[in-house]
Amino acid sequence: ERQTAAVAGGRKELQQAAREVRQAKAPPPREAPPEEPIENIADMPAEIARLRQLLAKLTDERDQLKKKVMHLTVALSEARSGSGGGDD
């Protein structure tokens, strides 16, 4: 609802609506565990696996955000072309 109204309101309102949606869906920030150097080479494969999982998760999140931006850009473009052009 808010996004639909924002599309009609213009770019800044659309950006604000998108920001609010992201904040509402985002999990609360969590404190990162303290960094500890890996002292044993045997622990490296587990750390590499953990980092690969984190990378996959972040890559997926980035791709989802790119799709949202694309959809919002299209919606904004359609709103502008549908409501503009009568000032000649």
Average pLDDT, the chain: 80
Q: What is the rounded distance in angstroms from the CA atom of residue 18 to the CA atom of residue 25?
A: 11
36 within some domain: no
Is residue 40 in some structural domain? no
The reply to whether 32 falls in a domain is: no
pLDDT of residue 11: 72
pLDDT of residue 70: 93
* 38 within some domain: no
Band (pLDDT 50/70/90 cuts) for residue 46 is: confident
Total number of domains constituting the chain: 1
Spatial separation of the C-alpha atoms in residues 14 and 55, rounded to whole Å: 30
Predicted confidence (pLDDT) per residue in 59-79, tens digit: 999 999 999 999 999 999 888
Residue 17 lies inside a defined structural domain of this protein = yes
**Cα–Cα–Cα angle for 57, 59, 62, rounded to 5 degrees:** 110
The percent of residues in the chain predicted with pLDDT above 90, rounded, is 30
Q: Is position 12 within any domain?
A: yes
